C-alpha cells in the first residue's frame, strides 16, 4: 500500500511516504501497552490538560492544518477550516466532560454496596478514512484518551500528511509516549495488530467491504469493534413542508464536502405536491455551484478526493442511466481534468436499478416521487443502510413522529444533518454498529466493571440471588 499525497485538483504528487515495518509496529504496540498499564490506575481527570493542549495547538495552527486538507483530499479551504474548528471543539468537550461521564455509578442491591466503575481496556486500533481526516481521528482519539486507551492509527493512504500532522500535535502537546502512534501500514499488518493480545479493540470508519473484513478479523480474535460505514441517507419532504427553508440548505445537503459525506442527503423523497418544486430547487442549487480550485474563495464545489473516485462515481452514474434512470441534470461524461466532477441529478430510479440500493459518494442527487408520507417512510426504510436522515414538515411535532419511524442512527427534523461533540454518531443495518461522540462515544471501549462490597456476614440460609 502506497501512502501518497496527490492534489486532486491537478493530480500533482506532493509527497510519498515510506511504509512502517513490523519492528516499528511492535514498538508502537509495546509503548501503548506499557502506557495502558499505568493509565488504568490513574484518574481520567489527569488526562484532561493534555487534551486541552491538543485543542490549543490545533486552534493555533488552524490555517496550516486546513491547507493540508485542501491540498491532500481537495476539501474547500473554508470547509477545511470548519473541520479543524469542529475537531477542536470535540477535544475540548471530552476534556471538560469526559471524567464526569466515567464516574462510578451506584446500584441499589440486596447483596451490598454495588457500583459500576469505568476502566480502560487497552490499546486500540483505529482505521480511518480520508473524507474528514482530522475529525475522523479526533472523535475516536479524544474520548479514548480521556478513558485511558492508547491508540494506533492506520489512516487512508491518500491522507498521510493529515495523519502526520495530527501525530505531531499530540507529541507537541506533551502526551506521554505510547498515547498515539500513526502507522503507515498495509491491511495484513492491521490484521496482525488486531490479533495481538495487547490490543483490545478496533474502530473503523470506511466502506461496507472494509467493515466486513475488519469485523471478521475482530470477531475471530474476540476483540471489541465499532463500525461506521456508509449511508444512503433520505431527505423526506412532506406535504406541509416549508419550501423556503428547504431552499436555504438543499444544495449544501448534497454538495457539502463535494458530496463525500456518509450522512449527507443522497435520496430526496418528495410527496407529489412538492415534487416539481423541490426538483427545480435542487437543479438551481446544482447550477449555481462553482466547481474549481478548492483554495479559491469563489469555488463552492470542490473536486472529489482522487481521480480514481471520480472514475468510480462516473461508472455508477452510467450504470444507473443504462438501467433506466433519467438524467435530470448534468452529464454521464465527466471530461474535466483530474478529480473535478460536475454534479448530477437522477430520477426515475426503480427497484431493479442497481442504483436503488447503492451509495453515491459524491455530488449525485437522487429524487423520488411518492404519493404520501407512508410511501415516503416505506421508501426511506427500503435500504441496506441506516445512518442518517432528514424530515421536513410544517408541523415539527408531526415531522418528529415521522422521523421516529425512519430506521437510521439519527434523523434531523427541519434541518440539514450535522455533527456536534455532544451528539452521538452511528448507524444500524449495513451502516455499522456502535456509537461515537457524546456520552455514548466514551463508553464504547471501556470496561464497565461491577464492584459489590458486602458489609454484613454471609447468610447461608438465604441463597436468593446467591449468598445474600
Which residues carry out catalysis? 228, 262
Could you list the beta-strand ranges (E) of 260-415.
265-271, 326-329, 344-347, 364-370, 385-386, 390-392, 412-413
- Paired residues of 151 in beta bridges: 124, 180
Q: Which string of DSSP letters, residue by residue, matches 332-348?
A: S---SSTT----EEEE-
Nearest Cα to Cα of residue 79 among 60, 97, 65, 100: 65
Can you list the alpha helix ranges (DSSP code H) found in 5-132? 22-39, 48-60, 62-73, 77-101
Residue 91: CB atoms within 10 Å: 29
Q: Which string of DSSP letters, residue by residue, matches 193-224?
A: HHHSTTEEEEEEES-HHHHHHHHHHHHHTT-E
Q: Give the H or E element holding residue 244.
A: helix 243-255
Nearest Cα to Cα of residue 416 among 290, 204, 245: 245
Compute CA 460 distance to the chain's CA centroid, rounded to the nearest angstrom.
53
- Burial grade of 390 (CB within 10 A; 0-12, 13-18, 19 or more): buried
Nearest Cα to Cα of residue 340 among 362, 321, 361: 362
Helix (H, G, I), strand (E, B) or coil at 74: coil
Query: From CA 117, how far away is CA 160, in angstroms rounded?
Result: 37
Compute CA 63 distance to the chain's CA centroid, rounded to the nearest angstrom.
22
- Are the C-beta atoms of residues 390 and 236 closer than 8 Å to each other? yes
Amino acid at each position: 500500500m502506497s501512502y501518497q499525497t496527490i492534489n486532486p485538483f491537478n493530480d500533482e504528487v506532493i509527497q510519498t511516504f515510506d511504509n512502517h515495518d513490523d519492528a516499528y509496529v511492535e514498538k508502537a504496540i509495546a509503548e501503548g501497552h506499557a502506557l495502558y498499564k499505568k493509565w488504568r490506575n490513574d484518574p481520567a481527570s489527569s488526562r484532561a490538560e493534555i487534551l486541552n493542549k491538543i485543542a490549543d495547538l490545533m486552534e493555533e495552527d488552524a490555517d496550516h492544518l486546513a491547507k493540508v486538507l485542501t491540498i491532500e483530499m481537495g476539501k474547500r479551504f473554508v470547509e477545511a477550516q470548519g473541520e479543524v474548528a469542529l475537531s477542536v471543539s470535540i477535544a475540548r468537550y471530552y476534556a471538560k466532560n469526559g471524567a464526569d461521564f466515567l464516574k462510578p455509578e451506584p446500584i441499589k442491591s440486596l447483596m451490598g454496596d454495588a457500583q459500576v466503575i469505568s476502566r480502560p481496556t487497552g490499546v486500540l486500533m483505529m482505521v480511518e478514512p480520508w473524507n474528514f481526516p482530522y475529525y475522523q481521528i479526533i472523535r475516536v482519539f479524544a474520548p479514548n484518551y480521556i478513558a485511558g486507551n492508547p491508540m494506533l492509527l492506520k489512516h487512508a493512504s491518500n491522507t498521510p500528511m493529515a495523519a502526520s500532522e495530527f501525530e505531531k500535535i499530540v507529541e507537541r502537546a506533551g502526551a506521554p509516549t505510547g498515547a498515539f502512534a500513526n502507522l503507515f501500514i498495509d491491511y495484513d499488518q492491521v490484521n496482525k495488530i488486531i490479533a495481538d493480545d495487547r490490543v483490545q479493540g478496533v474502530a473503523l470508519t470506511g466502506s461496507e467491504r472494509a467493515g466486513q473484513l475488519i469485523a471478521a478479523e475482530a470477531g475471530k480474535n474476540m476483540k471489541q469493534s465499532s463500525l461506521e460505514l456508509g449511508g444512503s441517507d433520505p431527505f423526506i419532504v412532506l406535504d406541509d413542508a416549508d419550501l423556503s427553508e428547504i431552499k436555504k440548505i438543499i444544495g449544501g445537503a448534497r454538495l457539502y464536502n463535494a458530496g463525500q459525506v456518509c450522512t449527507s442527503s443522497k435520496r430526496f423523497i418528495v410527496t407529489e405536491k412538492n415534487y416539481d418544486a423541490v426538483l427545480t430547487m435542487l437543479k438551481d442549487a446544482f447550477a449555481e455551484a462553482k466547481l474549481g480550485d478548492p483554495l479559491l474563495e469563489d469555488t463552492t464545489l470542490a473536486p472529489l478526493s482522487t481521480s480514481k473516485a471520480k472514475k468510480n462515481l462516473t461508472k455508477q452514474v452510467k450504470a444507473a442511466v443504462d438501467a433506466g434512470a433519467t438524467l435530470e441534470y448534468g452529464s454521464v461524461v465527466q471530461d474535466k481534468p483530474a478529480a473535478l466532477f460536475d454534479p448530477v441529478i437522477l430520477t426515475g430510479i426503480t427497484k431493479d436499478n442497481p442504483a436503488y440500493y447503492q451509495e453515491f459518494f459524491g455530488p449525485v442527487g437522487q429524487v423520488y416521487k411518492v404519493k404520501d408520507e407512508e410511501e415516503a417512510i416505506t421508501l426511506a426504510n427500503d435500504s441496506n443502510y441506516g445512518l442518517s436522515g432528514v424530515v421536513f414538515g410544517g408541523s415539527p411535532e408531526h415531522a418528529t413522529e415521522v422521523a421516529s419511524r425512519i430506521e437510521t442512527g439519527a434523523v434531523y427534523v427541519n434541518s440539514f444533518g450535522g455533527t456536534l461533540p455532544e451528539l452521538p454518531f452511528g448507524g444500524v443495518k449495513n451502516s455499522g454498529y456502535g456509537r461515537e461522540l457524546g456520552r455514548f462515544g466514551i463508553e464504547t471501549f471501556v470496561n464497565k466493571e461491577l464492584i459489590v462490597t458486602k458489609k454484613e456476614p454471609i447468610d447461608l440460609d438465604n441463597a436468593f440471588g446467591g449468598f445474600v
